[in-house]
């Protein structure tokens, strides 16, 4: 169940990410990147390369979300919430 949720999240984001990287916006709107687009993946990877603590934080977030989802599925299974 957790893997299926992750698959659909990645699938949807794989569709939306290229779209968001091509939508231009000004600084007053929702964009906060230096190149004036909603999403800037190359800039994010550059930031991770320059600051290794961002990689550790990202790994911590992945582990935290995985543990939360696994616990939620286990609790639902054992509590028989159907």
Rounded CA gap, 47 and 28, in Å?
23
With a cut of 60, say whether residue 82 has pLDDT above it.
Answer: no
Q: pLDDT tens digit string along 4-57?
A: 877 888 899 899 999 988 888 776 666 665 677 788 888 888 989 999 999 999
Domain boundaries, the chain: 2-79
Q: pLDDT tens digit string along 35-50?
A: 777 888 888 889 899 9
With a cut of 60, say whether residue 59 has pLDDT above it.
Answer: yes
Query: pTM for this one?
Result: 0.63
* CA-based nearest residue to 5, from 61, 72, 75, 80: 72
- Produce one character per residue of 18-37: b if its CB has 16 or more CB atoms within 10 Å, e if not: eeeeeeeeeeeeebeeeeee
Beta bridge partners, 41, equal none
């Amino acid at each position: 169940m957790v893997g299926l949720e992750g698959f659909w999240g990645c699938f949807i984001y794989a569709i939306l990410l290229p779209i968001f990287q091509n939508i231009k916006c000004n600084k007053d709107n929702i964009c906060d990147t230096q190149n004036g687009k909603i999403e800037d993946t190359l800039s994010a990877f550059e930031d991770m390369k320059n600051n290794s603590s961002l990689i550790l934080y990202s790994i911590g977030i992945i582990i935290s979300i995985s543990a939360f989802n696994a616990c939620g599925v286990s609790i639902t299974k054992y509590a028989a919430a159907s």
